């Protein structure tokens, strides 16, 4: 009888012990499930970098162009890359675009930013958000090498000057010409790059063309064209990044302006300018 009683007590304690282990097991599983759920919720609540598509020309050296391997590079391209390294909340994607479609991409929201030596003017300031200027370009008259009768806009009276439709230098010269009796014969081109008009000058099709000195010097060096810049700068034009006039555009402007101040202060922008253009053309 005592043996049965002892056996009963033993079974009773075994049942209690098994229940205790079962409870621990359930608690452990429950804790694991809770952790897994918490980790999953944390991953889902994390914000992935927002992709920003940047419109740029693939044929505008030394600012933005495709190198021999097809990779985009140049002053504007490398500056934008440096900027976005300091803005991890965004993912940078370049979208190569012809000049005549560069603003259409922005207007349709295919791109959210333009990095393409866009000069600052009143029309653009009204329609878009513009960054603080990141480069200052000097515009010169370009003539056939050895020509001595053209040094200024005054010397072009009665002669033919080629202009690219819709550019800031073209608008400025149109205004000057109108104020001075429209004595310059303007020939317009829809060329999407500046090498075609420079070839027109070299071949004697026109008397002169206006171009950023850096661009003209680059073409002279690369193609050996018999042309040269003459006189003093016709204009000095600041250039800026361009954004859509919406909430994201305003956000990009504010953040990128702040980063550019850092890049000016630590010398990065100046170094890039010297590397790609041969001089420090960073505005104060």
pLDDT in tens, the chain (284 residues): 444 444 444 444 444 444 444 444 444 333 334 333 333 333 344 589 999 999 999 988 889 999 999 999 999 999 999 999 999 999 999 999 998 899 999 999 999 999 999 999 889 999 999 999 999 989 999 999 999 999 999 999 999 999 998 888 898 899 999 999 999 999 999 787 788 999 999 999 999 999 988 889 888 988 999 999 999 999 899 999 999 999 999 999 999 999 999 999 999 999 999 999 999 999 98
**Domains parsed from the chain with CATH numbers:** 50-135+240-277 (3.40.190.10), 137-237 (3.40.190.10)
Residue 213 tokens, joined: 């000195």
Angstrom distance (rounded) from CA 99 to CA 192: 5
Query: How high is the pLDDT of residue 161?
Result: 98
pLDDT of residue 104: 97
Is it true that the peptide bond before 107 is cis, omega within 30 degrees of 0? no
- Compute how many other C-beta atoms are within 10 angstroms of the C-beta atom of residue 274: 15
| Predicted TM-score (pTM) of this structure | 0.70
């Amino acid at each position: 009888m005592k043996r049965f009683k002892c056996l009963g007590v033993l079974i009773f304690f075994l049942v209690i012990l098994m229940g205790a282990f079962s409870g621990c097991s359930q608690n452990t599983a429950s804790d694991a499930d809770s952790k897994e759920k918490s980790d999953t919720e944390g991953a889902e609540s994390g914000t992935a970098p927002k992709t920003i598509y940047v419109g740029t020309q693939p044929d505008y050296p030394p600012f933005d162009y495709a190198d021999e391997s097809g990779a985009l590079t140049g002053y504007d391209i490398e500056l934008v890359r440096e900027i976005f390294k300091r803005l991890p909340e965004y993912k940078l994607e370049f979208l190569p675009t012809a000049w005549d479609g560069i603003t259409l991409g922005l207007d349709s929201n295919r791109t959210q930013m333009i990095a393409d030596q866009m000069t600052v003017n009143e029309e653009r300031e009204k329609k878009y958000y513009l960054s603080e200027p990141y480069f200052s370009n000097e515009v010169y008259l370009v003539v056939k090498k050895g020509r001595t009768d053209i040094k200024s806009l005054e010397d072009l009276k009665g002669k033919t000057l080629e202009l690219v439709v819709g550019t800031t230098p073209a608008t400025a010269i149109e205004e000057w010409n109108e104020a001075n009796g429209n004595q310059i014969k303007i020939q317009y081109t829809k060329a999407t790059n500046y090498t075609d008009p420079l070839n027109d000058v070299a071949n004697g099709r026109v008397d002169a063309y206006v171009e950023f000195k850096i661009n003209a010097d680059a073409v002279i060096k690369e193609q050996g064209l018999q042309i040269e810049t003459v006189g003093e700068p016709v204009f000095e034009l600041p250039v800026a990044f361009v954004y859509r006039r919406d909430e994201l555009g305003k956000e990009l402007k504010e953040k990128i302006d702040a980063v550019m101040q850092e890049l000016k202060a630590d010398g990065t922008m100046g170094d890039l300018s010297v590397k790609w253009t041969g001089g420090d053309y960073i505005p104060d």
